[in-house]
Amino acid sequence: MKSWKKILGLAVMALSTTMFLTACGSKKEASDSDGKVTIRMSWWGNDDRHKATLDMIKKFEKSHPNITVKAEYSGWDGIVEKMATQIAGGTEPDLMQMNYDWYMTYSPDGNGFYDLNELSDVIDFSGFSEDLVEPGTINGKLNGITFNQNMGGVCYNKTTFDKFGVEIPETWDDLIEAAKKFPDGYYPLAGLSFYQIAQYLAQKYDEPVFDEKGNLNLTEKQIQEGLEWKQSMVDAGVIPSQKEIIENIGNNSVATVKQFIEGNYAGQTEWIQGVSSYKQVLDENNQESVIAKYPTIDGAKSDGVVTQPSMEFSISKNTKHPKETAELLNFMLNEKEGVLAMGTARGIPGNTKAIEILTEAGMVTEFDQSILNIMNDTEGLYQGPYFGQASVYSIYTDILEQYGLGTVDSKEAAESLVNQAEAAVAEIKSNQ
């Protein structure tokens, strides 16, 4: 398990290198005496996102001939370490795609990034709701603007459900009944992570796992109850056993495994903005998909669905070109050419002005609209910035695997999860 302390240790070791790179960058910027400037933009994602963002940059450069944008992009692997090294050395890009929970490490007091409020004469924030502004606001300073919101949903293989005469489920009881009608080797869902346990507990107790300060809202007994509920879904045939999940899925995306492609795993819980990859796989294999709201338990106090900001964009506090960088950000978020170039490669934008531009251009499909409808009809619950931290999430994963394989019982698993998670949160706080 990598801690932020270890990552920042690597960043300090790399400081001499980054100082050299900073010096080189300063020479480059000093040479821009002809009024032309070069700024850097970084992001991670898949090929579709890379292609769309590069297209957006190309159009921006055409309409802003005095600005050159250097693109720095990759997949997810290595991003956390790379960002830690760059920020420690002051060599981070001018404009950065961020995870909202990184601000705890990089800007606990709000001074780690450029205050976007100071650039409001360049960036139009009028289409952004408070839900999109609040996550990046620290001590009144806008460290980052949220591209969109995300929440849990489900992609079902309707072809499989129809094959066995089963209606698309709306509740967990429906899923249990569906499992009774499925033959051996077929499951209504491919699996459940701790996110689903958190949502079960939220529906029952109307509380997130952690509060905003990282304190546990739930007791050890309640965590144990959540673990036992997950196992009850295995026992009912709603999801495969932990052993089968390890053998058939492992660390791969469910959308890529044979059992999902062929319809044996007839559903997958997923961030609603990410279900298109599952739909695409089913479409390519002549199977019909249905995107649905997250299922509820009997007597649920709320939908309890995990919701979180999806992708922040921040400007470096060290940028020598804040106005030009802000122009690039505004072009991507608000201006017609930039919005159309970006399309929905980062999901459906939260900015109402961008949605209007895409809708008028016919780029919000019926499928996209169904996602928007589900989000508008779902009561989300923010689990706080500590819930999804990498060091904390790895604890959930490890303990769920041990419990699922039967190496620990539910009481031991709950006790271990609580103790380790609290220790991990304390370590995160100590590095702030």
The SS3 call for residue 321 is coil
Query: pLDDT confidence of 126, banded at 50, 70, 90?
Result: very high
Q: Quote the pLDDT of residue 5.
A: 41
Q: Quote the pLDDT of residue 18.
A: 41
Could you give the CA distance from residue 106 to residue 172 in angstroms, rounded to a whole number? 40
The SS3 call for residue 117 is helix
The SS3 call for residue 372 is helix
Buried b (16+ CB within 10 A) or exposed e, 213-224: ebebbbeeebbb
> By CB neighbour count within 10 A (0-12 exposed, 13-18 middle, 19+ buried), where does 271 fall?
middle
Could you give the CA distance from residue 188 to residue 228 in angstroms, rounded to a whole number? 19
- Where are the strands (E) in 158-285, listed by range? 267-271
Interval 39-65 mean pLDDT: 96
Least Cα distance to 201 among 223, 173, 176 occurs for: 223
Structure tokens that stand for 408 in this block: 């620990």
The gap from C-alpha 225 to its chain's centroid, in whole angstroms, comes to: 26
Rg value, the chain, Cα: 23
Query: pLDDT confidence of 33, banded at 50, 70, 90?
Result: low
β-pairing, 137-138 with 95-98? unpaired
pTM: 0.80
Could you give the CA distance from residue 235 to residue 238 in angstroms, rounded to a whole number? 8
DSSP 216: B
Question: 70-121: per-residue pLDDT in tens?
Answer: 999 998 888 989 999 999 999 999 999 999 888 988 998 999 999 999 999 9
Is the CB of residue 157 less than 8 Å from the CB of residue 266?
A: yes
Least Cα distance to 46 among 280, 355, 323 occurs for: 280
DSSP string, 121-184: TTS--TT--HHHHGGGEETTEE--EEEEEEEEEEEEEHHHHHHTT-PPPSBHHHHHHHHHHSPT
Question: Average model confidence (pLDDT) for the chain?
Answer: 90
Q: Quote the pLDDT of residue 116.
A: 98
Above 70 in pLDDT, residue 369?
yes
Interval 386-392 mean pLDDT: 88
